[in-house]
Amino acid sequence: MNPYYRKTVIGGNWKMNLLPSDVDRYAEALIGSIPHPCDAELVLAVPFVSIPAAISAFSGSGIQIAAQNVSEHSSGAFTGEVCAAQLFDIGVRRVIIGHSERRLYFCETDAIINNKAHAAIFGGLDPIICVGESAEVRDTGCACELVAFQVKSALSGISAQALSRIVIAYEPVWAIGTGNVATPQQAQDMCSHIRSVISGIYGSAAAEAVSVIYGGSMDENNAGELLALPDIDGGLIGRASLSPAAFSKIVQSSEKALKQFGGI
Ligand code: PGA
């Protein structure tokens, strides 16, 4: 992290877990255990059906509620889809785009992800765009090339002004849900590489200001070490975010790391 240049973002991703009726209990436990105020931006991405309950339960807590997906279209005959304007209308301001589970199980291509980024920005939502390589790609030594391609594709046609609303999440597919967290060196190297790719498109000042976060088996035991690294500006946390106690410990690690930067 580097709070002098960019914000720290700690995001939870519930995926398709927990019920709308679980939200109140979860919120009470989390709000009661995180520091107030928090210097990091805290975001919780919950399933669509839990968003209204979560917005109400976390109101005034400083924790933003995000969606896990958004349509690439702005309205129309797209049964089962949810568009950015609908999410904005109920109070959502952030959305995860291009998660590897969406790429893998729902055939989301880099072109669709780019369309979704444009749709989100246009509809008032700030995207968290996920990129990351599979184990096979890492084994062939092409991880940097693939991630660079994913970043460039996702940001195609996005203005420098809109870039300031985007967070990039580096989530190696082999680390997601496996307990097989990237080493600090692997995570730092790829987050730094992503920043240099962004610098190549928008210039170094814009790249220094973009938050690049890490996701993939981040938990309460490894978060402190990862968040202290210079190019890792936060985390996107799946499994560990299902437990308010574990998620709160990750938030506390990030606050501790931020304090070590001189009381920011
Ligand atoms: P995980 O998921 O923390 O369970 O590995 C991270 C993610 O998919 O965002």
Per-residue pLDDT of the chain (264 residues; tens, 9 = 90+): 988 899 999 999 999 999 999 999 999 999 999 998 999 999 999 999 999 999 999 999 999 999 999 999 999 999 999 999 999 999 999 999 999 999 999 999 999 999 999 999 999 999 999 999 999 999 999 999 999 999 999 999 999 999 999 999 999 999 999 999 999 999 999 999 999 999 999 999 999 999 999 999 999 999 999 999 999 999 999 999 999 999 999 999 999 999 887 654
Q: Give the DSSP letter string of 192-222.
A: HHHHHHHHHHH-HHHHHHS-EEEESS--TTT
94 CB-contact burial (10 Å; exposed 0-12 / middle 13-18 / buried 19+): buried
C-alpha to C-alpha distance for 116 and 109, rounded to whole angstroms: 11
Q: What is the DSSP letter of 169?
A: E
State the CB neighbour count (10 A cutoff) for residue 97: 27
User: Is the Cα dihedral 96, 11, 46, 61 positive or negative?
Assistant: negative
- Which protein residues touch ligand 1 with a CB less than 6 Å away? 13, 171, 176-177, 215-218, 236-240
Q: Are strands 234-237 and 212-215 parallel, antiparallel or unpaired?
A: parallel
Q: Of 174, 213, 236, 241, which is best to mutate to test ligand 1, by the most ligand atoms within 8 angstroms of its C-beta?
A: 236
Instruction: Find the 223 Cα to ligand 1 centroid distance in Å.
Output: 13
Instruction: Find the 177 Cα to ligand 1 centroid distance in Å.
Output: 5
Nearest ligand 1 atom to the CA of 237 is: 3
Instruction: Find the 133 Cα to ligand 1 centroid distance in Å.
Output: 14
CA atoms within 13 A on the CB side of 3: 19
Per-residue CA distances from 132 to 16, 46, 98, 109, 188 (Å): 21, 21, 10, 13, 13
